[in-house]
Structure 1
Amino acid sequence: MNVIIIDDDCLVSGALKTILESDKDISVPAVGNDGHEAVDLYRKWLPDVLLMDIRMREMNGLTAAQTILEEFPAAKILLLTTFSDDEYIVKSLRIGAKGYLLKQDYGSIIPAIKAVHSGQTVFGGEIMAKIPGLLNKNEAFDYAAFDISEREFSIVKLVAEGLSNREIAETLYLSEGTIRNYLSTILEKLDLRDRTQLAVFYYQHC
């Protein structure tokens, strides 16, 4: 698995590179120090996961992530920061980042990268606890008007709770393939891009 690291502190990026490459399954072919480099390096390497700081000079990580996702919608971007800033959390969700972790939680970085690589969305416990209260809540949304069945709605809720396809399949006694098919149908009906946007959509309308 190739991972690109972007952080404007060379000591931090160096430490992250050392941590990640201590795992035999991860290699770090390049390191950058601002959002512009993030965009350029992503285009060059097309990494499996992009691990990126948010607060950086020139172009910040959120702007870079949005730029990359507009060009590469399937990009897997994990944001890493020292700030549990409410505005950052909400924006990272809405642009389609696959995760948001605090830098001080070093022990979670490798598991988070592997989870993101496997298709999961990852947020640290402190971040997850804040998400429902951060997103705007409106009147109850009429999912039936979008032809969302009860089974499909139950999958929406489990995605919003952070469960992987495998965990949802085990919970509902279905196969992973069936869950993937359901998710594709749900995303199409609601005109959403991925499971991150689906989780945001749920919390916005619950």
Structure 2
Amino acid sequence: MIRLAIVDDQALIREGIANLLSLADEFTVCWQLDSGIKVCEQLSSDPIDVLLMDIRMPGVNGIEALTQLRKQHFDCKVIILTTFDDPQLFVDAMQAGANGFLLKDVDTEKLHHAVHRVYNGQTLAEPVLLNQLNAAQLSTFGDNEIEPLSERETDILKLIAAGLSNKEIAQAIFLAEGTVKNHVSSLLAKLNTRDRTRAVLKALSAKII
């Protein structure tokens, strides 16, 4: 069972997200808050696996609350929720220690996938945001540990950047899904990451894609 919590100042949003999550048997929403002020206190008494938190809240916003919980060494996964597709907010959230950044107009399937993805150690970001990042923003994710990619790996990485799954990539370029999985493993190794989103960020920073 994956233990979840929701922090959002709008009751309707909190309840809506909780209802969508409750459709999956493997999720349980343990608590909800309407502010970032008491997040650390609540985590101390009732730890969870994944926290979904609004970025814009009065008092203590999502990034401020996230910064505090990371300073206090809480290691739960955090998905920042927003209605704003602002790439700078994404950069700020990632630098503060977010594991994912998700727009609130997400459907049920995508929400469930997002929770599973960050729970399993992956980073989550909207493809539209990745492609809006400017050079200065991208530089915060870059490094020099990049081996040259093959033409096929570069093509696959571009499709990952567009948000396609391995299955969808296989259908798009007429390869077996297992072959695509092998290519993805290879390009992740060359980019020195096990995370698809960070691979895209590194490649964009290095102007590979």
Fold in common (TM above 0.5): yes
1:152-195, Cα deviation, whole Å (9 max, x unpaired):
2222212111111222233341334751x443443333233511
Rounded to whole Å, the distance in 2 between the matches of 1:36 and 1:151 is 48
Alignment gaps of 5+ in structure 1? none
Rounded to whole Å, the distance in 2 between the matches of 1:153 and 1:45 is 40
Which residue number corresponds to residue 193 of structure 2?
A: 192
Q: TM-score, normalised by structure 2?
A: 0.66
Alignment gaps of 5+ in structure 2? none
What is the percentage of aligned positions where both structures have the same residue? 28
1:118-172, Cα deviation, whole Å (9 max, x unpaired):
438453xxxx44542333189xx9x9x7142223222221211111122223334
Which amino acid letter does the alignment assign opposite residue 27 of structure 1?
Answer: T
Flag the 1:63–1:201 CA change in 2: closer, same or farther, 3 A.
farther
Q: Secondary structure at the match of 2:30?
A: coil
Flag the 1:164–1:122 CA change in 2: closer, same or farther, 3 A.
farther
Runs of 4+ in structure 1 off by over 6 angstroms are none
Q: TM-score, normalised by structure 1?
A: 0.66
1:53: Cα distance to partner?
A: 0.6
Rounded to whole Å, the distance in 1 between the matches of 2:192 and 2:32 is 35
Is the Cα contact below 8 Å between 1:115 and 1:122 reproduced in 2?
A: no
Q: Secondary structure at the match of 1:28?
A: strand
Flag the 1:82–1:42 CA change in 2: closer, same or farther, 3 A.
farther
Matched, 1:112 2:110: yes
- RMSD, matched Cα: 3.9
Rounded to whole Å, the distance in 2 between the matches of 1:35 and 1:188 is 40
Is the Cα contact below 8 Å between 2:30 and 2:48 reproduced in 1?
A: no
